Amino acid sequence: MSDTTGYVLTIAGHDPSGGAGILADVRAIESLGSRALSVCTALTYQTENSCRGYRSVSLSDLRQQLLPLFENYPIKAVKIGLFPCIYDLCETLRLIRGALGVVPVVWDPVLKTSSGYIFHDLISESELKTILSHCTVATPNREEVALLSRMSCPDKSAERLSQHAPILLKGGHDQGDMVVDKLYDKELVEVFRSKRFRGVSVHGSGCVHSSALATYLACGDSLLDASKKAFSYMQQLFGFHNGEDFELPEPLSMRAPLV
């Protein structure tokens, strides 16, 4: 294609209510002025309040969705969400590396829905190392990071996992007056703080956050700068939907092109 504009690819589940999954991802990516591509990993039967189940898309069908995108679009970053089958996730990451080389890959480890439906119990240590070795950053919340590492302390869990890939530990599901996110990169820790907006649904917030992060990385920002901007983006969205004096984030296209 003659179009050289960068694209952000989301590979995730479909939420028919639109609050999470690929629909939420596409809205976030395009709200920042980038172009979104999407591949569906699972059909879920859910709303923001409940999930009744899901049906996985086969690895063969995942490949059939991905290959034409790899061949026709300049993909600058990839966001990965729900993968009910961990083997399929590992194979897809290998496929991405083989087709695109080293592009930013953001993994949002969706282990269960915000309404409590569990997709995964445990991921083996060898599987987790394989996944992280292909990722630029993983973005678990505090419950997810503890499940991934099988440790009770989220901060120690994130520190341990960051030996394999940077971990952006999200605090949006906590209950304190402040939202505190932490970026762990081996021995380095960066902390982002903002006031918490009450009464705003967190359904799909992890999807949106990781998609914004992938979009900023696609634009060429460092991981630290992209993390700061994605955190600010989320606070702007929560503030706007909470009825406070916040403007929606300015699209990236108004500031710098994706090249």
**pLDDT confidence band for 175 (50 / 70 / 90):** low
The pLDDT of residue 254: 35
Answer yes or no: is pLDDT of 5 > 80. Answer: no
**pLDDT confidence band for 89 (50 / 70 / 90):** very high
CB within 8 Å of 116: residues ≥ 6 apart: 51
**pLDDT confidence band for 182 (50 / 70 / 90):** very high
Position 254 in a domain: no
Least confident of 66-70, 91-95, 158-162, 168-172: 168-172
User: How far is Cα of residue 52 from the mean position of the Cα atoms in its chain?
Assistant: 23
CA distance 43 to 31: 24
Position 200 in a domain: yes
243, two tokens: 């009825």
Mode of pairing for the β-strands spanning 105-107 and 75-80: parallel
The pLDDT of residue 246: 44
From the list 151, 154, 185, 9, the residue with the least C-alpha distance to 81 is: 9
Answer yes or no: is pLDDT of 76 > 70. Answer: yes
Least confident of 44-53, 86-95, 195-204: 195-204
Position 169 in a domain: yes
Number of structural domains the chain divides into: 1
The dihedral built from the CA positions of residue 109, 234, 223 and 257, taken in this order, carries a sign that is: positive
Position 100 in a domain: yes
The dihedral built from the CA positions of residue 28, 29, 31 and 37, taken in this order, carries a sign that is: negative
pLDDT tens-digit profile of 184-223?
998 899 999 887 665 555 667 889 999 999 999 999 999 9
Q: Which domain holds residue 162?
A: 7-247
Mean pLDDT of 81-107: 96
From the list 233, 222, 214, the residue with the least C-alpha distance to 190 is: 222
Position 255 in a domain: no
CA distance 10 to 222: 20
Position 22 in a domain: yes
Q: What is the CATH number of the domain that holds 157?
A: 3.40.1190.20
Position 259 in a domain: no
205, two tokens: 């917030």
Average pLDDT over all residues of the chain: 86
CA distance 10 to 66: 11
Helix/strand/coil for 86: helix
The more confident residue out of 48 and 103 is 103
Position 214 in a domain: yes
The pLDDT of residue 253: 39
